[in-house]
Structure 1
Amino acid sequence: MSKPEIIVYSSTGCPHCEKVKAALKDWGFEYEERNASIHKEYFDQLRERKIMGTPATLINGKLVLGFQEKKLKKLLGITDEQAAAAAASTNATATTAAPQEQGDADSIFKPVTADVLNEVYDLVTIGGGPAGASAAVYAARGKLKTLVIDKAPKAGTLAITHKIANYPGVREELTGLELLTRMQAQAKDFGADFVRTTVLSVDFTEEIKKIVVAEGTIQAKSVFIGVGAKAPSSKIAGEEEFTGRGVSYCSTCDAAFYQDRVVAVIGDNEEAIHEAEVLSKYCKTVKLLVPLAQVKGEADLSGLESKPNVEIYKRYRLKEIQGTDSVEKIVILDDQKAEQTWDVDGVFLYLGGMMPGTDFLKDTVKRDEEGYIIVDDYLRTNVDGVFAGGDARRTPIKQAVISAADGAIAALSAEQHVNKRSKLRPQYS
């Protein structure tokens, strides 16, 4: 079978582009990258095809817009099992000929080896985000043999956050990936191990817990479930059809495609407001639709209210996205629930409704109707020795600092469980 011709149109700073490239690399496929934010000719090539965003991947001439894992696998002719096996083989044979900068996420995470499968860990944390990394810091510092598993270290909610300015103790602005890598490097300094692989299933019925991955079975005396959240499968009418052709989820990636055009931004959170602000620097008009009367959390509209090219509509909801080859109109319900149709060139979606990525657990621990794991104040599940936190449990608000706090509590609870202590032992020094 001949190698497929793969071209990836990307943009600098595009998290979805990184997901596409990482997947192709894991599956063992070579590709040509064309960065549309650096080379105008590639930008123009996309515009000529009425493609209004990145990533745009061509596989033997067939187009995949955004990061659509199933469609990529289908065009490459590989199954889920073949992709998992290829990723495991790629990780196992990764060369160290070009050592990476200390602290980089790729250098922290290693492939699963026979030594990993032969070990019985004191604590295994599933998920390497702020909850899992914080748990690893506390557990490893508490002398627990600790392992962190993550299938995509650079693809979590914090890792793809463009800017963090409110994390306690970190005075400078930095990207989410930079903050997360610092947490992971700190845990590694205390002795935690990190592996990149996919958890296929778990068995918590025995004292030694079993975590099945593509390479074999990992064993642990205690487990912390710190997986992130994912977008729900339900989409707005027209969203999937026009993704990459006027529907976007990232201003960093796609704002330049909408120079002097009219776009709608849909959302009520801090990310939506930040993205509207970025787009206002490029677009003729930015229409921000806030589904409710107020924005969520610490989001603040005052900066946008003074911009002459930004229009804010509260209690306006997006019903449908319409067009032929690309987005041309949106159908909205206004604050009186009357239907209106607006002409727009693009739609940027930042709607809430993230769901926990806990489906792999099935019925091994108790979860609520939306998949959130049920825990007590010490983050203990209904299974002895199994803990959960971060976006895996229901919290009043989702912030990195809250997930990190969950990791600390869970690690101290795990230390109590492993060492059979009557009380939690806090770390003071």
Structure 2
Amino acid sequence: MAADEGAAVLETNNDGPKIPDKKKTKFDVIIIGAGPSGYTAGIYCSRAGYDTLILSGILPGGQLVNTTEVENYPGFENGIMGPDLMIDMRKQSQRMGTTIIDDIAVDVDFRRAPYKVLTGSEEYESRAVIIATGANPKKMGITGEEEFSGKGVSYCATCDGPFFRNLELIVVGGGDSAIEEATFLTKFATRVHVVHRRDELRASKVMQERAMNNEKIQFHWNSEVIEINGDEKMQQAVLKNLKTNEEKTIKVGGLFVAIGHQPNTELFKNQIDLDDEGYIVLKNKTHTNMEGVFAAGDVHDRSYRQAITAAGYGCMAAIDVDKFLTENADK
């Protein structure tokens, strides 16, 4: 989906936006994506003196725009709302001089420099590219999931677990991530129900044993959650046994979906190396296999998936870009 035809490029300086210049299409650095990694990369690239463009997409801010209170991002003693954190990062990047366009990249050409990034209305060129398109958690697609997202339904136990103290919780999934999250949540919950479609876990043996020996964890085998109910917040989940078709309702205060993530890399197939799950394969640090093309954040990070680590990767990618552009200044 493209933005309106003729979308303006907002040039910025330390005082904020200038008059739009629709003709500017060539930059030193193009950053695709505007979550914590993209905005941080913009801050560092612009501060280093590079003419930097962020293509943020139509709904900039990444997963944090759907997050309520963020307690674990350093510097905010009383926490901060996810959308507010993203707005502040955006303004800071603009203050450093970054051009930000709320448009979607629909095609790229990394075969040779200058690299090309196309939106529905314009073609942009740059000497280096940072991919910061992130990843989205896989969803169950059941009744109540969207309605209670952020109101009991979560996709990150590390992020949201402390908000669910003294409640019974559900974790959906059977892999390492699901069992790790279930074990983590026992620090706060009175009981954690692990709902898995099979009769055995896919998690590593060590993690399985740890969970099996935890008296707070209860397993529901050959089962799936088919519906989530509640008033203002989630209060119940309906489980179905896939062998007997028997349904039962359990009262819980939260549900954590841990069935994997989908990196937003469809655009980069046949352009750079991706692994079997679609994550960007890094050659060295933040470098992809294409010289001058870098990656930052959840688009390659399958392990941490935190705002602070994404921002860290954005910083690293920008520093790597600086080194690359300096070394190739005469090319």
TM-score normalised by the chain length of structure 1: 0.58
Partner of 2:38: 132
Question: Structure 1 CA distance, aligned partners of 2:5 and 2:113?
Answer: 31
Match of 1:250 among 148, 151, 157: 148
- 2:315 maps to 1:315: no
Residues 324-374 of structure 1, C-alpha deviation per residue, up to 9 Å, x if partnerless? Answer: xx99942148xxx99863135999553341111010112111111111111
Q: Which ranges in structure 2 are unaligned for 5 or more consecutive residues?
A: 193-214, 231-235
Offset at residue 153 of structure 1 (A): 3.8
- SS of the aligned residue for 2:170 comes to strand
Partner of 1:380: 287
Contact kept in structure 2, 1:210 and 1:219, CA below 8 Å: yes
- SS of the aligned residue for 1:408 comes to helix
- SS of the aligned residue for 1:380 comes to coil
CA separation of 1:402 and 1:330: change in aligned 2, threshold 3 A: same
- SS of the aligned residue for 1:143 comes to coil
Contact kept in structure 2, 1:129 and 1:228, CA below 8 Å: yes
- 2:247 maps to 1:341: yes
- 2:22 maps to 1:114: yes
Offset at residue 250 of structure 1 (A): 3.1
Match of 1:366 among 273, 280, 303: 273
Partner of 1:160: 66
Partner of 1:46: none
Q: Which ranges in structure 1 are unaligned for 5 or more consecutive residues?
A: 1-79, 95-101, 256-264, 281-285, 423-429
- SS of the aligned residue for 2:100 comes to strand
CA separation of 1:340 and 1:272: change in aligned 2, threshold 3 A: farther
- SS of the aligned residue for 1:414 comes to helix
Partner of 2:195: none
> Which residue identity lines up with residue 224 of structure 1 in the other structure?
I
Residues 228-263 of structure 1, C-alpha deviation per residue, up to 9 Å, x if partnerless? Answer: 11234xx65xx44xx3xx44463555x7xxxxxxxx
Partner of 2:325: 418
Offset at residue 407 of structure 1 (A): 0.9
> Which residue identity lines up with residue 250 of structure 1 in the other structure?
F
How many residue pairs were aligned?
294
Identity rate of aligned residues, in percent? 24
Question: Structure 1 CA distance, aligned partners of 2:21 and 2:120?
Answer: 11
- SS of the aligned residue for 2:4 comes to helix
Question: Structure 2 CA distance, aligned partners of 1:317 and 1:390?
Answer: 34
Question: Structure 2 CA distance, aligned partners of 1:384 and 1:252?
Answer: 40
Offset at residue 382 of structure 1 (A): 0.9
> Which residue identity lines up with residue 296 of structure 1 in the other structure?
E
Partner of 2:187: 302
- SS of the aligned residue for 1:411 comes to helix
Question: Structure 2 CA distance, aligned partners of 1:267 and 1:185?
Answer: 27
Residues 310-331 of structure 1, C-alpha deviation per residue, up to 9 Å, x if partnerless? Answer: x9643335734558xx999421
- 2:313 maps to 1:403: no
Offset at residue 163 of structure 1 (A): 1.6
Partner of 2:206: none
Equivalent residue runs for 1:261-272 within 5 Å: 269-270=157-158
Question: Structure 1 CA distance, aligned partners of 2:226 and 2:161?
Answer: 24
- 2:288 maps to 1:288: no
Equivalent residue runs for 1:187-206 within 5 Å: 187-206=93-112
Question: Structure 2 CA distance, aligned partners of 1:375 and 1:367?
Answer: 9
Offset at residue 220 of structure 1 (A): 0.5
Question: Structure 2 CA distance, aligned partners of 1:320 and 1:173?
Answer: 34
Contact kept in structure 1, 2:33 and 2:60, CA below 8 Å: no
> Which residue identity lines up with residue 148 of structure 2 in the other structure?
C
> Which residue identity lines up with residue 88 of structure 1 in the other structure?
D
Question: Structure 2 CA distance, aligned partners of 1:182 and 1:113?
Answer: 24
CA separation of 1:173 and 1:379: change in aligned 2, threshold 3 A: same
> Which residue identity lines up with residue 269 of structure 1 in the other structure?
A
TM-score normalised by the chain length of structure 2: 0.73
Contact kept in structure 2, 1:266 and 1:351, CA below 8 Å: no
Partner of 1:354: 261
Question: Structure 1 CA distance, aligned partners of 2:67 and 2:217?
Answer: 25
Contact kept in structure 2, 1:122 and 1:221, CA below 8 Å: yes
CA separation of 1:317 and 1:157: change in aligned 2, threshold 3 A: farther
Offset at residue 195 of structure 1 (A): 0.5
Offset at residue 417 of structure 1 (A): 1.6
